A = this chain, B = another copy of it.
Amino acid sequence: MRLGTIQQADGSRAVIVGVSETEAAVVEGFADLGDLIEHPDGLALASKAKAQSGRISLDGVHWLPPLRRPGKILGVALNNSANPDRIMQGPSTPAMFVKPSSSLVGHGQPIRVKERYGRVHPEPELTVVIGTGGAELTIDEAPGHVFGYTIMNDLTSPTMRGDDTFHYRAIHPDPDDPNGIRYVDSWVSYPARYKGADTFGPLGPWVVTTDEVPDPHALRIQCRHDGRVVTDDNTGNLRFSVAEVVSFTSQYLTLEPGDVIAMGTALRASAKGGAVQNVDLVRLGGTVEVEIEGIGVLSNPVEHH
């Protein structure tokens, strides 16, 4: 089942896609796929809508992010196995950041960049949507909590990342004195701007339920800029699997229905050369597409503001 959220003249609606090649049907009563996921009969009502509702053409439809305001949007950092020699020091578990919901935009909607952002590049990512919430999930339990998969273009500004990095003396307790402190030379970086600026989270076009994605780790994933292939990789190259990431996250952050987890960037550059880091959208503009086999194509034009 393919489910999304669209904007209509009088408000937003959850829709089921694939009623025909070019049509969807509104699932009445839900302003958002997030509401449908939280409803105990959401999937049954979507099936019914597919059979019974009036159809709407996908042509020219205004897509919203399938989840407009998830409880949390997590991104897994550096989660690829293509280039392990790049990491000189790092955790042996998934490291994550949070993107704000104000950064989300739907399929077809503009990525709005500003000169002050410095460089901004795309990052094509398989993205998990949580169905049933939970905490302390085992790796075996984790897949049962996934509602489906979608695509995120996890836009990133390396310029703002550099700007918001500190080299400083962190205060740590002195092990020899319960009231004493010592300084430890440390680096920290803060992702709110460089991962969370407005429109830095294109998401969609829709969510494909897990029954239609038998193996989320065998999907070709491409990133294209103005039709040119920038990344051609496979979700099999992710370092931590969906089950590992969902289970690990739930040991620390309780997962809630509709939570979004972007799994990290497929990294390998295309045979034609170039890397996502070469695609500076502030300088180049154009249109970015992310395609994942069996899920769809997420396409967004760049606007300069």
A144 at the interface (CB under 8 A from B): no
Is there an interface contact between B188 and A274, defined as CB atoms closer than 8 Å? Answer: no
Shortest distance between the CB of A134 and any CB in chain B (Å)? 12
Contacts A77-B190, A98-B196 known; A88 to B165 CB distance under 8 Å?
no
A179 at the interface (CB under 8 A from B): yes
Is there an interface contact between A277 and B72, defined as CB atoms closer than 8 Å? Answer: no
User: Which residues in B have their C-beta under 8 angstroms from that of A161?
Assistant: 188
- Complex Cα distance, B69 from A164, in Å, reads 26
Identify the stretch in A11-19, A100-108, A235-243 within 8 Å (CB) of chain B at 4 or more residues.
A100-108
Range for the number of chain A residues in contact with chain B = 35 or more
Is there an interface contact between A192 and B71, defined as CB atoms closer than 8 Å? Answer: no
SS of A interface (majority): mixed
The B-contacting residues of A in range 42-60, CB under 8 angstroms, are: none
A145 at the interface (CB under 8 A from B): no
User: Which residues in B have their C-beta under 8 angstroms from that of A39?
Assistant: none
A251 at the interface (CB under 8 A from B): yes
- Complex Cα distance, B123 from A171, in Å, reads 13
Is there an interface contact between B98 and A191, defined as CB atoms closer than 8 Å? Answer: yes
Is there an interface contact between B71 and A254, defined as CB atoms closer than 8 Å? Answer: no
- Complex Cα distance, B69 from A180, in Å, reads 38
User: Which residues in B have their C-beta under 8 angstroms from that of A193?
Assistant: 95-96, 252-253
Contacts A135-B198, A165-B187, A170-B158 known; A192 to B98 CB distance under 8 Å?
yes
Shortest distance between the CB of A303 and any CB in chain B (Å)? 15
Is there an interface contact between B188 and A189, defined as CB atoms closer than 8 Å? Answer: yes
- Complex Cα distance, B133 from A100, in Å, reads 15
Is there an interface contact between A179 and B278, defined as CB atoms closer than 8 Å? Answer: yes
Q: Which residue of B lies closest to A164 (CB)?
A: B95
Instruction: Write the A241-261 contact mask toward B (1 if CB under 8 angstroms, else 0).
Output: 000000000011111100000
User: Which residues in B have their C-beta under 8 angstroms from that of A135?
Assistant: 198
User: Which residues in B have their C-beta under 8 angstroms from that of A178?
Assistant: 274, 278
